[in-house]
Amino acid sequence: MNAPSPQLHPEIHSHPAPAALLQALAARFGSQYSAAQVVREQHGRDESAFSVPPPAAVVFAQSTQDVSDSVKLAAQYKVPVIPFGVGSSLEGHLLAVQGGISLDVSRMEQVLAINAEDLTVTVQAGVTRKQLNEAVKSTGLFFPVDPGADATLGGMAATRASGTNAVRYGTMRENVLALEVVTAQGEVIRTGTRAKKSSAGYDLTRLMVGSEGTLGVITEVTVKLYPLPEAVMAATCSFDSLADAVNATIQVIQMGVPIARCELLDANTIRMVNQHSHLSLREGAMLLMEFHGSPAGVQEQVETVQTIASDFGGQTFEWASTPEARTRLWTARHNAYFAGIQSRPGCKAITTDTCVPISKLADALLDSVTEAQASGLTYFLVGHVGDGNFHMGYLIDPDSAEERATAEQLNTQLVQRALKLGGTCTGEHGVGLHKMDFLVQEAGAGAIAMMRAIKQALDPDNLMNPGKIFK
């Protein structure tokens, strides 16, 4: 199998939108419509390292009806529609590689129904994870899925996002109960109910979760909530080597410890985080952990993990004992990406996202770090290692073709390694523009043909976020 060649720029087939469409959108949406250059450019970039011409116009949807009308108008003129939340995609999901209009759902920020007695909440797609948790705060419940950015629930569902709590609470795959979706034909459908389980027909909810806007636009999301744990303890533990930290993690997971968060940063990244977040964490490979449960349950988990950590030469746990200290610690972790970016002014990050079976984590991670170090590129390393998922961020000068090629080569080697180990090219960021070749390798031609058949059946004119997932 040949490695795909490093992809320096996405393939662009951008066509101008017909003036008649733009006029129709302007007439329908008034001040909710903009074709101003600055607004288009804001909606023409994300956190990826790609550079692509912006969309032809932006519609700021405030309701499902707005989304439906936008999709129907665009379909009439055979113009692509690209859903937009807060712009935090790392893989070019939001870029108008085939032209089209950006459909910004960030004003769809109503919390529609808090059903505390059923541990569910239904929100519009533009509600962010922090807004959601703020809204349910008084119920004693919380929503655990937490990608680094304060992303929208619609975007999180569309990319099958996860984050630091997934090791215990699962990803969007496990936590979305039901969706409202506007189809490529502009029809509004509901997938799923608020029942905890169901065998009623094809699982459209999970087909839409992770479909990256290519099968329809998500307009409402119903997710599970969890009781705030009675006891929460967070700690850091520093190790002499990366291998020790990784092997300690593997053992924690294999023992079945229900750890709530188990995050790895290497010494290099700790340095960036210390600088960015004004912390003074010990500059070694570090696990950041959190334990949820009853006081006794947390105590049991802590004892087990302390024993394992100490077997691998881990230092004493440093406790973040107050809620404020915990918040400071996790905010710093969530900002590690930005800490990395800011460590090299003007740089862009090319981010990796492999996830492997837990027993293969050391094999997948350690060689990749060695390769990154040998390359001379600046990089950061963070990992949801309890899930076997980690991210390298290669910090490149976006104008340097050489650095970009080096980063893509490192990424390719890293992905090939993960696939050989039975893993996936993307644990939580999605395919977007960046991993289309890797997806073919991972899934195989037959599974890709099935995905394409579904895409063709649901979006025959290829107008829903075209050019993503598949070439």
For the segment 252-311, give every residue that binds its own copies (CB under 8 A). 254-256, 293-294, 296-297, 300
- Interaction of residue 399 with its own copies, rule CB under 8 A: no
Stretch that binds its own copies, among 67-75, 98-106, 279-287, 433-441 (CB under 8 A): 433-441
Q: Does 48 bind its own copies (CB under 8 A)?
A: no
- Smallest distance from its own copies to CB 449, Å: 8
Among 275, 307, 331, 359, binds its own copies (CB under 8 A): 359
CA contacts within 13 A on the Cβ side of 25: 32
Closest separation in Å from C-beta 328 to its own copies: 27
Q: How far is the CB of 150 from its own copies (least distance, A)?
A: 19
Task: Choose, by CB under 8 A, the member of 126, 423, 466, 467 that binds its own copies.
Answer: 423
CA distance 433 to 430: 9
Query: Taking a C-beta distance cutoff of 8 angstroms, is the pair 155, 134 a contact?
Result: no
Q: How far, in Å, CA of 160 to CA of 293, rounded?
A: 26
Task: For residue 388, give the 3-state DSSP assignment.
Answer: coil
Q: Which stretch binds its own copies (CB under 8 A): 16-24, 280-288, 309-317, 428-436?
A: 428-436
Q: Which of 76, 316, 456, 471 binds its own copies (CB under 8 A)?
A: 456
Measured from the CB atom, the residue of 192 and 284 that comes closer to its own copies is 192
Residues 149-208 that bind its own copies (CB under 8 A): 159-162, 166, 170-171, 173-174, 183, 187-191, 193-204, 206-207
- 58, 425, 433, 463: which one binds its own copies (CB under 8 A): 425
Question: How far apart, in whole angstroms, are the C-alpha atoms of residue 460 and residue 215?
Answer: 10
Q: Which is nearer to its own copies, 11 or 230 (CB)?
A: 230
**Residue labelled with tokens 């993503």:** 468
Output 296 or 401, the one with its CB closest to its own copies. Answer: 296
Instruction: Tell me whether residue 6 or residue 297 sits nearer to its own copies (CB atom).
Output: 297
Among 85, 388, 393, 466, binds its own copies (CB under 8 A): 388
Smallest gap, in angstroms, from Cβ of residue 461 to its own copies? 14
Q: Among all chains, which residue has been given the structure tokens 């598949």?
A: 470
Restricting to residues 61-120, which ones interact with its own copies according to CB under 8 A? 115, 117-120
Q: What is the DSSP string of 136-174?
A: HGGGTEE-----SS--BHHHHHHTT---TTHHHH--HHH
Q: Where in 110-129 is the site for its own copies (CB under 8 A)?
A: 115, 117-120
Residue nearer to its own copies on the CB measure, 53 or 170: 170
What share of residues in the chain are helix, strand, coil (percent, to 5)? 40, 20, 40
Q: Which is nearer to its own copies, 230 or 397 (CB)?
A: 230
Interface with its own copies (CB under 8 A), residue total: 87
Instruction: Using the minimum distance from each CB to its own copies, give the nearer residue, 156 or 272.
Output: 156
In terms of CB distance, is 60 or 337 closer to its own copies?
337
- Which residues make Cβ contacts (< 8 Å) with residue 423, sequence separation at least 6? 354, 355, 356, 357, 360, 364, 388
Name the β-bridge partners of 342: none
The least distance separating its own copies from the CB of residue 414, rounded to whole angstroms, comes to 14
| Whole-angstrom distance, CA of residue 5 vs CA of residue 408 | 9
**215 exposure class (CB count in 10 Å sphere: 0-12, 13-18, 19+):** buried
> Which own/partner pairs from 316-322 qualify as long-range (CB within 8 Å, at least 24 positions apart)?
316/237, 317/235, 317/236, 317/237, 318/235, 318/236, 318/237, 318/238, 318/282, 319/233, 319/234, 319/235, 320/234, 320/235, 320/236, 321/233
Interface residue with its own copies among 282, 318, 448, 462 (CB under 8 A) is 448
CB contact burial 127-147 (16+ within 10 A = b; e otherwise): bbbebbbebbeebebbbbbbb
Beta strand 101-104 with 81-84: parallel, antiparallel or unpaired? parallel
